[in-house]
Amino acid sequence: MSRTTARYHEPAPQENDAVALRRVIAGRRSVRKFTDRPLPQEVLDDCIDLALLAPNSSNLQPWAFYQVQSAAKKRALIDICLGQNAAASAAELIVVVARTDTWREHARLNLEHFPIQPIPKLVQQYYRMVVPLAYTQGPLSSAGHLRRRVSRLSSRFRPVPQGPCSREEMRLWACKSTALAAENLMLALRAHGFDSCPMEGFDERRLARLLDLDAHALPIMVIAAGERAPDGVYYPQLRFARERFVFKV
C-alpha cells in the first residue's frame, strides 16, 4: 500500500563534534569566585536562547528565566542566596523558574505556530485533547486524583502514564524540563568562555517575593554566571565509579 501523506524529514546533522562537546561538558565546573569582568548581554542572550532549545515535556516549555540586573534586586538576591560567594562575585544572576500554569497557553501556542500547515490531525488531537486530559488537575487536584484511580486500574491491562496527578506532581513535571534548560544554559556559558554556579541554597519564600512569583512558579535554581577567577573552583571534580550508577538490564 502506498503512503499518501507527505512525511517531514530532517536528516541527522552531518557536522558532529564530540570533542568540542566533551571539552564543554568536562570543562564546566561549579565556580564560587568570579572576576570583575562583565558578561556581555549578547553572550547571555545567546546562552538563554540555547537554554530555550532544551528538550521539554510535550513541547510545553514550562520555564522562565529572570535576569536580575537592577542593583537593588541583585543585592537582595545575594542576601537571599545566603550571601554565597558565587552569588556575591557573579557578573550576572539568573533565576531559573519552573511553571506549572503555562501549559494550557503553550498548548494553544503550539497550535498557533505549528511549523507545518495544515496541522496534522494527530498534533491537533494531542494539544486539544490529550494535553488537557493529562495536565488538568482541577480544584484540590480532584481531576488528577480521578485520573490516578483510572490510570492505576487501566495499568493492570496495558501500559498507561501514571501522572502527573496532583499539583505536587505538576511541580515535578515542570522541574524536569526546566532543569534540562538550566544545564543547557550552563554549558552554553562554558562554550562562550564563561562559567556558572547553580545554587539551590536560597530562601525560596523571599525569592518568590522579590520576583513577585505566584504559587504556580517554582524557582529551582539561581545560576551565578561570569568569568572564572583562577582560584574560583575550590576542588578537583569528583564523580563515583560508573558501576554505581549504570546498569545493563
Query: Min. distance of Cβ 29 from ligand FMN in angstroms?
Result: 4
Nearest CA to 76 among 206, 213, 212? 206
Residue 155: CB atoms within 10 Å: 12
The binder of ligand FMN chosen from 96, 134, 174, 199 (CB under 6 A): 199
* Binding track, positions 76-95, relative to ligand FMN; x by CB under 6 A: --------x-x---------
- Residue closer to ligand FMN by CB (options 117, 237) is 237
Given strand 63-68, what is the order of strands in its sheet?
63-68, 92-99, 217-226, 195-199
DSSP string of 167-233? HHHHHHHHHHHHHHHHHHHHHHHHHTT-EEEEE--S-HHHHHHHHT--TTEEEEEEEEEEPBPTT--
* Contacting ligand FMN within 125-144 (CB under 6 A): none
Q: Which residue is nearest to ligand FMN (CB)?
A: 201
The binder of ligand FMN chosen from 45, 49, 101, 200 (CB under 6 A): 200
**Separation between Cα atoms, residue 177 and residue 190, nearest integer Å:** 21
- Residue closer to ligand FMN by CB (options 148, 206) is 206
User: Directed axis angle between helix 204-211 and helix 71-80, to 10°?
Assistant: 170
Q: Which amino acid is at 211?
A: L
The binder of ligand FMN chosen from 140, 201, 203, 204 (CB under 6 A): 201
Residue that the C-alpha cell 556575591 belongs to: 88
Q: Does 237 bind ligand FMN (CB under 6 A)?
A: yes
Query: Min. distance of Cβ 210 from ligand FMN in angstroms?
Result: 17
* Contacting ligand FMN within 143-182 (CB under 6 A): none
Which range of residues in 29-37, 133-141, 152-160, 170-178 is near ligand FMN by CB under 6 A?
29-37
Would you call 82 helix, strand, or coil by DSSP? coil
- Residue closer to ligand FMN by CB (options 134, 182) is 182
Residue that the C-alpha cell 556558572 belongs to: 196
Q: Does 225 bind ligand FMN (CB under 6 A)?
A: no
Residues that bind ligand FMN (CB under 6 A): 29-30, 32, 84, 86, 197-201, 221, 237
